[in-house]
Amino acid sequence: MTKGILTFALLGCSILGATDYYVDALSGDDSRDGTCPDFAWESLKKVSQSSFKPGDRILLNGGQEFNGQLHLDDSGTKDAPIVITSYGEGKALVAGQGMIQSAVLLENLSHVIVDGIEITNTGTDPEAKRRGILVKIEDAGVMQGIVLRNLYVHDVNGVISKNEGGGTGIRWEVFSKDTKTRIDGLLIENCHVVRCDRDAIKGWMQPWDDMSFLSTNVVIRGNLIEDIGGDGIVPIGTERAVVEYNRIYGARQRFDPTIPEVSKYAGPSIGIWPWSSKNTQIRFNEVWGYRGTFDGQGLDSDFNCDGTTFEYNLSADNSGGFFLICNWGKHVKSGQSIGNSNTLIRHNISFNDHVRGFVLNGPITGVRIEENIIYNTLGKDMPVVIDTPWDGYSESVEVTGNLFYTTAEAHIYKGTWAGDGLGNWKYKGPMDYETVQFKNNAYSKVVDHEEEGMVKLSPDETLGSLIKRLGDDASTEAGFEKMIGFLKTSRYWEKIEKAL
């Protein structure tokens, strides 16, 4: 190629005000300028050592494997974000190989999009705090506009133990040491997370007990999560986060949850739950097939939270049951936690979850459980509501207008820790109906329970007929129609359809 042609080619690969940088693991060379496929860089190390400006794109050759870490700490702007994506055919693979803690590290930056790449981080042995992709913000004030989209994150072998540090497929962390710090705008969308230990998508905030500067505009939407070692989706340190249209199939894998010592080691985990957050909206999600009863529920409203809303979610075939609402009383007394207050749980469905329905745990306040459906044909006695201690019992809960359809006997009572190491509760005594108030609920086979406006359900009820019972106003009917529309693309739609 002559000098004139080379110059023309280079100019042809540039965009005014921004640059595309190509990376080719097979034919690239880090001594080149990277601005054309024919003059591509070779390694992630070159990318990590380079500086980028707003509007630049980092393009990894699709179908190729790039070993090591992709580390970015440059910011784009709202109108000109920095983009990391694949070019050519297929997704490029960033493989940490277990040699570094995070295969992709985005640090103290704003307006960055990571879209359409594959990420893995598998070491010879599991290692604590191993991640696929980590967004880390520390003493940086307000960072904005971070998008993680269309990522395939898989085989991140952190440890199963929560206490030892676990591990995560997609994670964000916010640290306020000397400067109040938060994220304003984090979108995690349409990602596929598979075989990540311990958790799939999870946040963190430090200090966790400072609720004065929470991250805002956090949206976790449309993700598919499969075969996870622990928790599914956990927004932490957020204000008005939205978690919607996500699917979780199979979690708490790679250990035997029936062995008390192993279960304690792994720690409790649940499908979707917020922590140290306010006004979280969790809607139109499905959670299937959690193993073990510590905790093992599909959904959870956790402590140090206020104003959490769950609506139009499906929890199905989860070994630990349907729903946990909890508050660790000791942290409220110490002033570290705002408790668990003003949780609203409405129009959700439990479909053949095991062991239990709603577990009220600790001194929760202002909780409303309204117009939900428990549909259970497993043929075993089902505690549909249990009030249990965690440095205190429930303080104010309203259970109103729910439909509890069970083919076996349904029970309502106050429970106590079974002491088996597996997260089970045993009968302690009758429910305290002063603090947990029941009204206008419907049952098929409840025993030893009476309430104002109690309704008897027919033994011939179907899941479809129960939904119709609740859909007596236009808004609720539209919500359930939207929920069923989402579930028609579920992996388990045939099971749902047979029950309708």
Q: Is the CB of residue 330 less than 8 Å from the CB of residue 353?
A: no
Tell me the pLDDT band of 8, cut-offs 50, 70 and 90.
very low
15-29, 150-164, 223-237, 325-339: least confidently modelled range:
15-29
Q: Find out whether 361 and 325 touch, Cβ atoms under 8 Å.
A: yes
The per-residue pLDDT for range 53-86, each reduced to its tens digit, is 999 999 999 999 999 999 999 999 999 999 999 9
Between CA 70 and CA 95 the distance in angstroms is 9
What is the SS3 assignment for 281? strand
Q: What is the pLDDT of residue 13?
A: 56
- pLDDT tens-place string over residues 160-187: 999 999 999 999 999 999 999 999 999 9
- The pLDDT value given to residue 16: 58
Residue 487 gets the label, from left (phi > 0), alpha (psi -120 to 50) or beta, of alpha
Determine contact, residues 454/447, Cβ cutoff 8 Å: no
Each residue of 202-236: pLDDT tens digit? 999 999 999 999 999 999 999 999 999 999 999 99
Measured N-to-C along each axis, helices 463-470 and 474-487 cross at an angle, to the nearest 10 degrees, of 150
- 478 pairs with which residues across the strands? none
Question: What is the pLDDT at residue 12?
Answer: 42
Distance CA 146, CA 79 (A): 13
- Give the pTM: 0.96
Residue 318 DSSP class: -
Query: How far is 432 from 253, CA to CA, in rounded Å?
Result: 37
CB 235 within 8 Å of CB 308: no
φ, ψ (nearest 5 deg) of residue 492 = -110, 25
β-bridge mates for residue 175, sequence order? 138, 206
Residue 25 reports pLDDT greater than 90:
yes
**Nearest to residue 141, comparing CAs of 75, 240, 202, 213?**
213
| Residues 142, 90: Cα–Cα separation, whole Å | 34
pLDDT for res 4: 36
360 alpha carbon, distance to own chain's centre: 21
Average pLDDT of the chain, as a whole number: 95
CA distance 423 to 414: 16
Give me the percent of the chain exceeding a pLDDT of 90: 95
Residue 199: pLDDT above 80?
Answer: yes
Whether 14 has a pLDDT exceeding 70, the answer reads no
Instruction: Measure Cα distances from 284 to 151, 222, 237, 342 in Å.
Output: 21, 10, 22, 20
Tokens of 437: 């108030």
How many C-beta atoms lie closer than 10 Å to residue 306's C-beta?
Answer: 17
Residue-wise pLDDT for 228-269, tens only, equals 999 999 999 999 999 999 999 999 999 999 999 999 999 999
What's the pLDDT score for residue 471? 78
